[in-house]
Structure 1
Amino acid sequence: MRSLAITLLLFFVAMPFVASADQAPQLSTARTMKAAGLVDIRTLVPHIAEDIHYAGNDNFVGRPVDGYRVAKCFLQRPAAEALARVEREMHKQNLRLMIWDCYRPARAVADFVHWAHDLTDIRTKAQHYPRLDKSVLLGDYIAPISGHSRGGTVDLTLERCDANGRHCAALDMATDFDFFDVRAHTDAPDISPAQRANRDLLLKAMARGGFHNYPMEWWHYTLEPEPTPHTIYDVIVQ
């Protein structure tokens, strides 16, 4: 699997890619988080909530993804600092962020692409893409190069906590994480007023922190301007 993922990685890095200035991304030679400028969010917010799905089986490929050896959130320092500010603001309102994914190694994205090409593996269809054929996932939902690999993007939701901050429950956002469907679009028309209010609460909080939402995924936010908009990384999360 690893050799195939690296082969795919080299192929896709060579593909044209539209970045902020139509510049093809460059694959960094960094082999450590420090060399890549990536920091563990918990060094800034020690108790931030994390549920890094790609390090386990609870994700759309149904197994740990190549490149994730531990369940940790790394980001470029400016993005980590901005996210820490959002978390502290939410804490004042008895809310907290729940992080699902942050920096994503390029080999993990190649692993996604390999999975998407295997049309016989539909074990997660009911949970993640019930109304779509797997053959259409490549493109809008699974891209050959991900902004996550630049270290300025995060997938997350909001939870409401009791007055002591000890018991928290996820806000109803209408869909789960990595639900490939129009209902996951941030402005989806067929969600309830309460669900829209919850999405708007997250949207406004992240916008105040400098993060821009990807309209097809209510959970997906990128810091603007990105710290390294034309560089992707392949450092293993460990």
Structure 2
Amino acid sequence: MSGAKPRSAPSSLGRPAAEKVLVDRPDLPNNGLPQPGYTMRLNTPLKISALALLLVGGLLALYAGLFGLPWPSRFELAWDEEVQLHDARIIHVHIKRSYESRQWLSRRDGIRRATDISFDAGPPFGLFSARFQPEDIALIDQKDDVWYFVLVRPAGTKHAGQAPFLKLAPGGQLQEAGREETLPAEFTHWNVMPDTPNPELVAAFNHTQLRLADKLRHWAAYPRDGNDVMRLRPKT
């Protein structure tokens, strides 16, 4: 027995003395263990979404740089138009139409909401102005010192397609004609150019003086309805 090597006594935890025991070391990062490296990997759908967002952002930045920021929800088109009366006189009428945009990125695609007119109506009226909403103006004419204004009601509104007219007599105010009244027989055609075929094409006249020849040329190419012959039936 004297030549036998003594055995190592077991530890108090039942482990061999040679076994290493991990001890909590809150004072060291990761309890003293090596910090593992970490690389974030995106799966395919996330990669596609990220690339799409970058592409959309780049296109919007390019659009804004070339054409400015997206257009406002409302816009206006206005010009000074030569309007020929039934007796061949020509008056100059400032016409402004107000629109509500239908598309975010389109500058001139809109629905007309109102029309404003102003012109020198002569004595005793002087400068006359009026706003029609939602109707559009189709005719301005005068007979026996009375001014007549024919309106067109847009599609989608009550009594759409009808053409009521208003009168302005000396000493009076602008008022709608009576139910049995008709326009003078001399008034046979519209004489105010419509915004046909759409605001985008008539935008070329914005802030210009619209001469009679240019007006009739455009109007012939883009009539409002048929030959734009006016109806003379009583208002219903």
- Rg larger in structure: 2
Q: Which has the higher helix share?
A: 1
Specify the TM-score bucket, using the shorter chain as the normaliser: under 0.3
Q: Which has the higher contact order (CA 8 A, sep 6+)?
A: 1
TM-score (norm 2): 0.27
**Greater share of strand residues, 1 or 2?**
2
